Amino acid sequence: MAFYAYGLRPDGKYQERFGLDFEDFQPGQRFVHRPGVTLSQQDNVDEALDTMNAAMLHYDANYAAQTAWKKPLMVSTITLQRAIGMSSKTFGRRKALLGFSEIALTKPVFGGDTLYSASEILACEACDAETGIVEVLTRATLADATEVARFTYRSAIYKRAHGPDGDSPAPIAEPRFAAWREAADGALVEQMGLFFEDFRAGETFVHSPRRSFYWNEAVEHAWRSLELAPRYHDLDWLARHAGGRLQIGETFLITAATAPSTRTFGRVVANLGWYDIRLPHAVYAGDTVEAQSTVLDARSSKSRPNEGILGVETRAFNQHGAEVLSYRRNLLVYRRNVESPYARAGY
C-alpha cells in the first residue's frame, strides 16, 4: 500500500499534505517515523525548570552523581512528547488524542541520546460519520534500536473528505511523491523531500504547515540576535510609536518562512546562496505566513556527480494574501540511487 505527500490544487500548484485518513489505517501496519531528534542536557533543564519540576535528578549533576544513574536523567515527559510528536507526519489528521492505556518507560534516557519513534496499528473502529478511532502502540528507541519507552493510546482520526482539511486536494499517486518507503520487513518508513530528478522546472510547491508568529518568541529571537532596535522588543516604544504592534525581525522572518520548505527540499546537501531577497510588507506578532517555492531550473553539478543544482524561487504570504518575502536560492540536491546518508542512518 502506497501513500503520497502532495495533492494538485486547481491553480496547478502542488499542496504538501501530512497525515493519513482513517480509511488508510488497518491493524498490523507498522510506521517508522522520521526524523529522529538528539536530546541535550539543556533540553532536560529547560523542560524541568519551565514546568517547575522539583525532581533535582534532572538538573543537579552533583546530586545525580550520587544516584544509581550517575548523571542527570532525562525528564520522562520529554520522551513522551518527542515520540508522539515525531509521529505527526503519519497521524496529522488526528482530531484528538483520546487517552493512553499505557505509558511505559523501559530504559533510562540521558542528554546526548538520539530518540527515534515507530508505531504499530493495533485496532481501527468506526466512530461516527466524521471520525474513526485508531488504537496505536508507539515505541521510542535509541539509535541502536534499544527500546526506552512505549505508549499505547487511542486517537480520533478524520475520515476522508471530513474535518478542517477535508477539502484538501487528493494525493497524487506519483512514485516521486511517495511519503513512505517499504522496508525489507514490510514496515513503512517515512521519507521527506524529493530527489534532484524528481523536480521539474516550472512546478510550484505550497509548503505545509504554515507558520504563525508569537510575541514571546519574536522578542526572544531579537534579544538573542543582539538586536537593539526598540520596534522588536520595547513595550513602551511600541505603545507610543507603533500602535502596540510588535514587528517580527526581518532575519527571523526569513528563517521561519524558509523552514517549511525543508520538507519538500529535504534531500538538500547545501544551500549555495540567496539572491534578490525582498521584504515588501512587515510581519507582526499574531500573523500567519505560508510559503511556496517554484523550481526555476535544474542542472548537473560539474564537481559533484552525486548531486544536482536547483534554482528555486520562494515567496511567502501572510493570512491576508499580501506577499511579505521573496528570494531566489541555488540548492545542491542528492540524486536518486547514488551514495547518500539515508540508508546508513536508517532513513
List the chain pLDDT tens, one digit each, 347 residues. Answer: 689 999 999 999 999 999 999 999 999 999 999 999 999 999 999 999 999 999 999 999 999 999 999 999 999 999 999 999 999 999 999 999 999 999 999 999 999 999 999 999 999 998 899 999 999 999 999 999 999 999 999 999 999 999 998 888 999 999 999 999 999 999 999 998 999 999 999 999 999 999 999 999 999 999 999 999 999 999 999 999 999 999 999 999 999 999 999 999 999 999 999 999 999 999 999 999 999 999 999 999 888 989 999 999 999 999 999 999 999 999 999 999 998 999 899 89
What pLDDT sits at residue 166? 80
Q: pTM for the full model?
A: 0.92
Q: Report whether 72 contacts 108 (CB < 8 A).
A: no
What pLDDT sits at residue 151? 98
Domain boundary among 133, 163, 192: 192
Q: Which three cell numbers stand for residue 104?
A: 511505559
> Would 146 be classed as within a structural domain?
yes
What pLDDT sits at residue 113? 98
**Backbone dihedral region for residue 99 (phi beyond 0: left; psi -120 to 50: alpha; all else: beta):** left
Query: Which residues in 154-192 are b (16+ Cβ under 10 Å) and which e?
Result: bbbbbbeebbeeeebeebeeeeebbbbeeeeeebbbbbb
Print the domain residue range for 135: 6-10+19-39+74-192
Do 254 and 317 sit in the same domain of this protein?
yes
Do 142 and 290 sit in the same domain of this protein?
no
Rounded distance between C-alpha atoms, residue 312 and residue 296, angstroms = 5
Structural domain total, the chain = 2
Domain boundary among 127, 162, 192: 192
Do 151 and 204 sit in the same domain of this protein?
no
Residue of 198, 202, 196, 160 lying closest to 177 (CA atoms): 198
> Would 266 be classed as within a structural domain?
yes
Do 186 and 209 sit in the same domain of this protein?
no
Rounded distance between C-alpha atoms, residue 155 and residue 94, angstroms = 7
